[in-house]
Chains A and B, each alone.
Chain A
Amino acid sequence: MVDVITLFLFSIIVYNIPLLYGTAGEIMIEKSGSLNLGVEGTMAIGAVAGYLLGMRSGSLLVACLVSFVASGLVGLLFSFLTVTLQANQNVTGLTITTFGVAFYYFIGNAVSNSESKWPALGGSALDKQFAAIEIPLLSKIPVIGKTFFSHNVLIYLGFAIAILMWLYFKKTVPGLKLRAIGENPGAADSLGVNITLYKYVHIIIGSGIMGIGGLYMALNMGGTFEGSNCWINGYGWISIALVIFANWSPAKAILGTFIFGFFNTLRVQNAPLATAFPNTLGWLTKIPAQFFSALPFIITLIVLILSSVSKNSNSNEPSAIGRNYYREDR
C-alpha cells in the first residue's frame, strides 16, 4: 500500500517536471511583455539537439548546454522577429511550434536512417549521469524520501531554477526593471531601461530553460526516437496554460506542476490505487481509460475558463503582454 502511494507521488514529479521548465521559461518571457506560443516547438528543438550532441560527448552538462543554446537560438529568432521586426507574436509563436516539432521529426528520421543509427541511451555515459541521486539521510525517510530526495540532477535543477527566478523577479533590480517593461514599456523606456536588450536577453534565457525541459523529456523517455509520438507530446501547450494558473509566479508554477501532475499520473496509475484501496477508491477502475486520458486537458480547460471569467484584481498578468513596443508609437 505504501509502495503504491510512494510510486504515485514519485511519478508525479518524475514525469511532470518538464512542465515546470516550460512554465518557468514562459513566465520569464511573458514578464518581458512578450507572449511566446512556441513552447512546444522550442522544447522539441532543445530535446533533439541536446540529446544527440550530449550522447556524442557523453556528458550531461554538455547536453544541457546544447539544449539551452539550441532553444536559446530559437528564442533569438523569436526576439528578432517580434522585437526588432515587430512581427505578430501569436503567429510567430505558432510558427515556431510547427517548425520545432517538424525539425524534431526531420532530424530524428535523418539520424535514424543514417549509417550511425539513432544512439541508444541505455548503458551510455549520459544515462549514468542521469541516474537518481539519493540525498543522504533525507532519502531514507519513508514515502517522502523517495518522492522528493531521490531524483536525477535535472529535477533538482528544475526546482532551483523556479525558486531562483522567483527571487530574481522579487528581489533584484534587473527583475524589477523586467517587470516594469512587461507592465508599461513606455514608462520603463523613459527611465532609461534598454527595452530591446532586456527583451532579447530574457526571451533567450526563457527559451533556453524550456530547452532543458525538452532534454529532460528525451532522457526520461529512454531516448528512443519513434516516428509516431513526439517526446514533448503536448507538454508545451499545457505549460502555457500553467502560466495563467500560476498567476505568472515561478513559485506557484511548482504548485501547478504538482496539481497537473497529479491528474496526469492518475491517468496511468488509477488501477494500483484502486487495488490498494478497494473500498475507498475501487470506483476508479469503473471510469473508462479514455476519460482519464482526456482529464489533464479537461482540467486545464476548466482552469482557463475560470481564470478568464474571474475579474481578479490580484492578477499578475503583465499589462503589456502580447503587444510589441515601438517607441515612436507613444
Chain B
Amino acid sequence: MKKLVSLVLTMAFAVTACFSLSGCNKQPAASSDATSKAEETTAGSKETDAESKPAAGNFKVGAIYINSQNDTSGYTFAHHKGITDAMKEVGLDPAKDLYIVDNVPEDDEKVKQAIDQLAGDGCNIIFGISFGYINAMNEKATEYPDIIFSHATGYMSNDKNFNNYFGRIYQARYLAGIAAGYKSLALKNDNIGYVSAWGTEYAETCSGINGFALGARSVNPNAKIHVYEISTWGDQEKERQAAQVLIDTYKCCVIGQHCDSAQPQIVANEKGVFGCGYNSDMTNEAPKAHLTAAIWNWSAYYATAMKAAMTDKASFMTSVGNYYQGLNAGLVDVSPLSGNCEPETAEAIKIARDLMTSGKWDVFSGVKLSFSGAAGSVTAEQKSDALKTNKGEEKVAAGGASVGDDVIQGSMNYYVEGVTQVN
C-alpha cells in the first residue's frame, strides 16, 4: 500500500517540480479549457471556412485569454474589461459579438486550436493577450488572411493583417514613483521596495522599475529602490514574503510592485507602511497603505483597433499598425490618488503628466525633473543630467534625447542609478 501511495505522490510531485522548474506558475489549477458561448452557439460549424462567413455589418470580435474571463482582478480581467468597454464604445454588443476562448496556456497547439475555433465562429479580428501566443498567431495570420490578428506585448507583425500592441507603462510608473518619493520624504526614510516578477531579464519589468525609480528620485534624490525579484509572474505566497523581507530586513517604507496579486500591498497595509499597486486600484485591498497604482486602460487601444478594422480592414496595418502608446492616448495612467498620499503629490503628478502627454519630455532622457515647493506651489525644474546605470555607465548624455522605443520595449537590461536588486 505504501508503495502505491508513494508512486502516486511521486508522480504528483514530479509534475509539480517540473512546473516549478519551467516557471509555469500561471497555469490555472482547476478549470480546464473552458470555452465560452463560442462553443454552444456554433457547435459543429468548426469546419466552415472563415472566408465564407462574415457579412458586412456583422462584425465579430475574438479573444484568447490566458486566465478565466470571470476573473475579477489581474491581467486577464483588465483585458476583458478593455475589450468589452471598447465594444460598447464602437456599438458592438459583447453578449452577441464577442467570442472568447479562455484559460489557453502558452502552447502553440492549444493557441492554434483556439484560433481555428474563433475563425470558425466568423471572427473578423482576433486579440491574443499573452506573450507566448506569438508564434501561433504569426503562423495563423498567413493561413487566415481575411482576419486581423492583434497580439499584446509581442514583437512580431506582418504588413497585412498581424500587428502587436503595448504601452508606455513606465510613464505611469514614473507618476506612481512621484507619490512614493513624497511619502519617503515625509517619513524621512529613503528605502523604497519593489516586488518584481523579473529583473533585468525582461525590458518590460526593467523599464518599469527604472521609471518608478526615476519618479521617486525626482522628489527624493536620495531614494534607494530595493528590487526583490520573485522569478515568476504570479505566486501569492512569494509576493507576500518578498514584501515582508523588504519591509523587515531592508526597512522599506513604500512597496511598489510588478506582479499579479495585491499581496505586496496587503502586507504593506498589515505592517503600517505604504505602497503602489499595479494593474488595478488596490486601495480596496490595502485601505491604509495604498497610494496609487500604475494602471492600464486597454479599451483605448481596443476601440482604436476595432474602429479601424470595421471601417477598412485592408489598411489596418497602415492606420493602426504596431501600436505603442502611453499617457497621451490614455492607454496607461495612475489610479485616483488615495487619501494616504502626501499633499504635494497631485500637483507634481499633474506637472509630470502634462509634460509627457504634450511630448515635451520623457522619462529616459538626459533631462531630469526635480520637484520642490509646498502643496499649492509645487514646481518642477528640468535639469540636464545624464541617464546613468547603477554601475555608473552613461546611457544618455546630459541633455540628450530619450532612448529609443526599441530599447524600452526590447533591449533595456540595466538598472538606473539608485536601484539595487537584493537577490
Contact = CB atoms under 8 A, between A and B. Distances in A.
Interface string A1-13: 0011001000100
Interface in B1-23: 1-6, 8-10, 12-14, 16-18, 20-23
A4 to B, nearest CB: 6
Nearest to B14: A301
A112 to B, nearest CB: 4
A139 interface: no
Interface residues of A, number: 65
Nearest to A320: B1
Contacts of B229: 289
A72 interface: no
Interface in A273-328: 274-275, 285, 288-291, 293-294, 297-298, 300-301, 304-305, 307-308, 317, 321-323
A33 B76 CA distance: 45
B228 to A, nearest CB: 7
Nearest to B262: A224
A122 B67 CA distance: 26
A314 B9 CA distance: 22
B260 A224 contact: no
Contact of A101 (B16, B29, B240, B267): B29
Contacts of A90: 4, 8
Interface in A240-273: 240-241, 244, 265, 267-272
Interface stretch (A75-83, A189-197, A203-211, A225-233): A225-233
Given A122-B287, A123-B288, A291-B21, A268 B238 contact: yes
B240 A222 contact: yes
Interface in A210-227: 221-222, 224-227
A15 interface: yes
B263 A222 contact: yes
A37 interface: yes
B375 interface: no
B253 to A, nearest CB: 16
Given A120-B284, A290-B23, A293-B21, A11 B241 contact: yes
Contacts of B10: 301, 304-305
A305 to B, nearest CB: 7
Of the listed residues A227, A237, A244, the one surrounded by the most CB atoms of chain B closer than 10 A to its CB is A227
A163 interface: no
A225 B30 CA distance: 14
B147 interface: no
Given A224-B263, A240-B5, A321-B1, A293 B231 contact: yes
Among all A-B residue pairs, the 6 with the closest Cβ atoms:
A271-B423, A289-B231, A222-B266, A293-B20, A294-B20, A297-B17
Interface of A: 3-4, 7, 11, 15, 35, 37, 90, 98, 101-102, 104-105, 109, 112-113, 118, 120-123, 221-222, 224-231, 233-234, 237, 240-241, 244, 265, 267-272, 274-275, 285, 288-291, 293-294, 297-298, 300-301, 304-305, 307-308, 317, 321-323
16 contacts: A118-B72, A120-B284, A222-B266, A226-B71, A227-B67, A228-B71, A231-B236, A237-B9, A244-B5, A289-B231, A290-B22, A293-B21, A297-B14, A297-B20, A307-B6, A308-B3
